[in-house]
Structure 1
């Protein structure tokens, strides 16, 4: 099951998984998340990064029930909740670096904290529940993006599982209340800033001191909700009167500039396209393949094309019509997963072999690669034989 969110919404997808009692993973990717939701005319500080940003979420299911939800690769969500529970882990960097081999890194982090007795099962379950709720809050807000559900064995071990329908009903009600706070409050990622006029207000000094504690220009609404172990709507309702009175300001942490790349159909003879921001990697690929008769010939319709800019590669791919794509996962502006997912939505490139060049080989990387439609992996550093074996596998003759 896969498609676009403008054709079917998240609520319907979750209902299908629940009714079918499915086990597996749901991957959702969406560009410019929350960045485009800023109210027109709002006076907000904006950090224009000039970079296309893609957000992704993974939801894990067991027999139609949610086991866990992960947003991105960061461990900071759990760290925010540990602050509320006054937990100082003291984990070694080596322990953190090994996370993500068999399960999502965040999920393994939660289990590590539990196994090392830094948190109790009750706290672990509470954190898992809060993370699922905030993830569903984001997902049920989406109106565009791409999703794919992959049936698979459930992640293990399992802490607990939650029924989908009550969660969806609860979060839907939260969203209805959330929308009533617009235009003052519109994104969980807005930063809290204390206004100068608060010092001349009639607010008690104790209240001003409390506002200063959180409104430091560095704490988002979502972080504040985690620190307090409350849902985002409850926190937003508490600060709403202070925002209305102008005692608190909410500013946007960032605005994402999305770029749309359209692929058109065409047909050319066999070519290999290498997309990697490191020139030495492209040169290594060219050198290895030249020995097998694949020769880079500049701009005159080469059989091997090495490009370091992924946006340029996407703009040229319909013209180049490669039969095989070698792509680095961590290219700037667009990563390899995003490039692959975009190509898989095109009728022309739906079945083109795509090999990811990566130094990452953890659970979350393998799941994302499979769901994005990656054909194969090539782990850096690789030798010529490994490269040639994969090329011969996908290009015969």
Structure 2
């Protein structure tokens, strides 16, 4: 059994495996198209570098029940993340611990090595397996594009436990639906929480809560890692921090963005130029805005992906935002409204860009908190006049360049 997820969804695939009481393994890879050919053995043997590897998952079954789930990159740190909750130090060289499992499932071998050496109890191992299965199914049930192949065969051995599919799928499907309600404030399990307003936190929350947030929201620990460390499901963690994200006290950044922070210009106390961010899915508009503003001494940064832009502006901390209204996935009204709910952006000028010159659009823009409105197409002088109206350039560094 194999195919594409635009033809059959993960839930249906799991139901077929359960109804057929199948034994074997399922491989799912994200982002494949119809012309892509998925080969299980080649995928197991060959892994690309992290920047080029497609995300993948393995699910192992016996008689229509799940034995184990493994992330395709075979990253043994997942188990160590859970062991941190139990304060277990393994002292094992992870490269040489797969004697009890097939060579294709190093995680499972690692877990059994810990059991065999009495480093963890069967109860802890069972709990870790349950958590790993749940987090894998959460990813799979959130997936809409990709390819899969199920191959019948001998069961993964030795076997510690088996889990019924139907109740797991029902519970996690509900979690995925609730997770979507937290969007776009919370977008991915791999996002990193970072504290941005400790003053407001200390004035609004108990000291113990603030200390916990300071400990975990270090910009290095993802939501998923946090769920593992605390032995909680991902949705519980996301719901707990959601109010702080909405208030603007806590910020979520993408791991890739956080690891490449040097690419984002830092604002120093000296020679601080006004920073203008332009959010527009039309590349030509972004290039024009950047060119005009840079020529007159402003620091201009163009963002063409609205969903990514929403997270980046918290890191960029612009002095003014230019935002297109008509964009796919997330329009300018939604972006403006979300930013206004954050204390960090309540006073930042937000100018809406649109190709329409209608009264209703102006009213809607004002209702969501827009500062002003600029109709496309616009010329250099119109853009500069509006930017200078809301950014006091002289207070930054003196007379603008000509």
CA separation in 1, counterparts of 2:122 and 2:162?
13
1:13/1:100 Cα in 2 relative to 1: closer, same or farther (>3 Å)? same
**Shift in Å at residue 254 of structure 1?**
2.9
1:335-354 mapped onto 2 (5 Å cutoff) = none
1:217 match? 219
1:43 match? none
1:74 match? 75
1:93/1:76 Cα in 2 relative to 1: closer, same or farther (>3 Å)? closer
1:1-397 mapped onto 2 (5 Å cutoff) = 1-31=1-31, 51-72=51-72, 73-92=74-93, 95-96=96-97, 101-102=102-103, 104-198=105-199, 201-254=203-256
Contact kept in structure 1, 2:31 and 2:147, CA below 8 Å: no
Aligned partner of residue 68 in structure 1, secondary structure:
strand
CA separation in 2, counterparts of 1:232 and 1:251?
17
CA separation in 2, counterparts of 1:92 and 1:84?
20
Q: Unaligned regions of 5+ residues in structure 1, if any?
A: 33-48, 256-397
Aligned partner of residue 123 in structure 2, secondary structure:
helix
CA separation in 2, counterparts of 1:50 and 1:155?
27
**Shift in Å at residue 64 of structure 1?**
0.4
**Shift in Å at residue 97 of structure 1?**
7.5
After superposition, the C-alpha distances for 1:336-395 in whole angstroms (9 at most, x for unaligned) are xxxxxxxxxxxxxxxxxxxxxxxxxxxxxxxxxxxxxxxxxxxxxxxxxxxxxxxxxxxx
Structure (1/2) with the larger helix percentage: 2
Contact kept in structure 1, 2:66 and 2:163, CA below 8 Å: yes
1:177/1:157 Cα in 2 relative to 1: closer, same or farther (>3 Å)? same
**Shift in Å at residue 193 of structure 1?**
0.5
**Shift in Å at residue 183 of structure 1?**
1.1
**Shift in Å at residue 202 of structure 1?**
2.7
**Shift in Å at residue 247 of structure 1?**
1.1
**Shift in Å at residue 166 of structure 1?**
0.4
Contact kept in structure 1, 2:115 and 2:125, CA below 8 Å: yes
CA separation in 2, counterparts of 1:189 and 1:62?
30
CA separation in 2, counterparts of 1:17 and 1:90?
38
Q: Unaligned regions of 5+ residues in structure 2, if any?
A: 33-48, 258-402
Larger RCO of the pair (alpha carbons < 8 Å, separation 6+): 1
Contact kept in structure 2, 1:31 and 1:53, CA below 8 Å: no
1:22/1:97 Cα in 2 relative to 1: closer, same or farther (>3 Å)? closer
Q: CA RMSD in A?
A: 2.1
Contact kept in structure 2, 1:67 and 1:162, CA below 8 Å: yes
After superposition, the C-alpha distances for 1:43-96 in whole angstroms (9 at most, x for unaligned) are xxxxxx994430110000000000000012100110000000000011135634
CA separation in 2, counterparts of 1:101 and 1:9?
28
1:288 match? none
1:14/1:117 Cα in 2 relative to 1: closer, same or farther (>3 Å)? same
Contact kept in structure 2, 1:31 and 1:52, CA below 8 Å: no
Q: Structure 1 stretch 216-225 or stretch 242-251: which is displaced more?
A: 242-251
1:198/1:104 Cα in 2 relative to 1: closer, same or farther (>3 Å)? farther
Contact kept in structure 1, 2:65 and 2:163, CA below 8 Å: yes
Greater C-alpha radius of gyration: 2
1:66/1:254 Cα in 2 relative to 1: closer, same or farther (>3 Å)? same
The TM-score with structure 2 as length reference comes to 0.57
Count of aligned pairs: 239
After superposition, the C-alpha distances for 1:135-179 in whole angstroms (9 at most, x for unaligned) are 000000000011000000101110010010000001001111111
